[in-house]
Amino acid sequence: MSKRRKLTDLILKVLIWLFSLITVGFLAGMVIYIVSRGISGISWEFITGNYNLYKGETGILPMIVGTLLLIFTTIIIAVPVGVFAAIYLTEYAKQGLFVKIIRFGTESLAGIPSIIYGLFGYIFFKNTLNLGFSVMSGALTLSIMVLPIIVRTTEEALLSVDPGYREGSLALGATRLQTIFKVVLPSAMPGILTAVILSMGRVIGETAAVIYTVGSVARIPAFDKLLTSSVRTLSVHLYMVALEEADFVSAFATGTILMIIIAALNFAANRLTRRFINGRTKGLGPTI
């Protein structure tokens, strides 16, 4: 090779390493910075304490409860719809206009920014359906938002089920539906679980769509009003304490907790994905 070609080669190689290093470096810097300042703020009282500024209480138990409520409700609504849609797309639908339109719908939903979801949830679920600022308004909004993730991931899982299983079951006289529920879905279970975990991550990380549907009341709701009260999720809490109250101790600690949760969810999703698609990983990446 000529000298110039060798030099270009070297420069490109250095750039590839350098830019990859920047990517990892930024992440590492951000994680280290936030965790090192946040970890000391995390204590038993912080996690299990109540939040009341007048009494000087800065615990995040209400936010943990609120986040769990929102996750749970969203998953309950979104998973059946998403899984059924994926079953339809992989097991029943013939490639045609209808499927094309549905794919277009999935892609569009994945591309809509979260603030638009927030506006929509505010005007439709909160105002038009009169659900108010509540877990229900938020869960309905977020379940639309996570549908693309669930449909995509479940579809992948269904497609990776060995066709021999289906044929064997059908040959034994099982109907199509029996085959789906007793043979295909059980083997696609790790994939569906991955979809659930990825949706959880999305709900935990969401703020713009949550703040104008769920609201930001930092109280544990009464037991008979779990779905009709406004709660505050951890992400919304981080936003509020950082920007409105300038309480950076709580903000760093909450940010640390959020990062730990996301890392754990990513780890779990990766573990599961390896079981249904050999060797590939799936974290909270883009859904397209």
Partner 1 sequence: MNGCISGNKRKFTYEKAIELIFALSAFMMIISVAVICFYIFIEGVPPILKIGISNFLFGTRWAPTFKEPSYGILPMILASLFGMLGAIIVGVPIGIFTAIMLAEMAPKRIYGLLKAAIELLAGIPSVVYGFFGLTVIVPFIRTHFKSPTGTGLLAMIIILSVMVLPTIVNISETALRAVPKEYKEGSLALGASKMETVFKVMVPAAKSGILSSVVLGMGRAIGETMAVIMVCGNIPNMPKSLLDTVSPMTATIAKDMSYAGPFHQSVLFGIGVVLFVFIIFLNLILNFVVRKSLDRK
Residue ranges in 195-214 that form contacts with partner 1 under rule CB under 8 A: 201, 204-208, 211-212
**Tokens (6 digits) for 182:** 């007793």
3-state secondary structure of 134: coil
- Closest distance between partner 1 and the C-beta of residue 222, in Å? 25
Residue 17 touches partner 1, criterion: CB under 8 A: yes
CB 213 within 8 A of CB 149: no
Q: Does 39 bind partner 1 (CB under 8 A)?
A: no
109 binds partner 1 (CB under 8 A): yes
**Which one of residues 1, 97, 171, 222 is an interface residue with partner 1 (CB under 8 A)?**
1
Closest Cα to residue 253, out of 63, 108, 118? 63
Helix (H, G, I), strand (E, B) or coil at 253: helix
> Nearer to partner 1 by C-beta: 64 or 259?
259
* Min dist. Cβ of residue 111 to partner 1 (A): 5
Choices 42-50, 147-155, 163-171, 188-196; region in contact with partner 1 by CB under 8 A: 147-155
C-alpha Rg value of the chain to the nearest Å: 23
Smallest distance from the beta carbon of 239 to partner 1, in angstroms?
A: 5
In this structure, the dihedral spanned by the alpha carbons of residues 191, 193, 197 and 198, taken in order and rounded to 10 degrees, is: 30
Residues 6+ apart with CB under 8 A from 225: none
Separation CA 148–CA 82 (nearest Å): 8
102 binds partner 1 (CB under 8 A): yes
Per rule CB under 8 A, is residue 177 in the interface with partner 1?
yes
CB of 43 to partner 1, least distance (A): 20
Q: What is the distance, to the nearest Å, from the Cα of residue 27 to the centroid of all Cα atoms in its chain?
A: 19
Q: Single out the residue of 82, 138, 191, 221 in contact with partner 1 (rule: CB under 8 A).
A: 82
User: Is 217 near partner 1 (CB under 8 A)?
Assistant: no
CA angle 50, 52, 56 (to 5 degrees): 100
Please select the residue that binds partner 1; options are 51, 133, 239, 276, rule is CB under 8 A.
239
- Kindly state the tokens that stand for 266: 């990513």
Residue of 41, 59, 60, 117 that binds partner 1 (CB under 8 A):
117
Under rule CB under 8 A, residue 283 binds partner 1: yes
Q: Is 285 left (phi over 0), alpha (psi -120 to 50) or beta?
A: beta
32: contact with partner 1 by CB under 8 A: no
Kindly state the smallest distance separating residue 242's Cβ from partner 1, in Å. 5
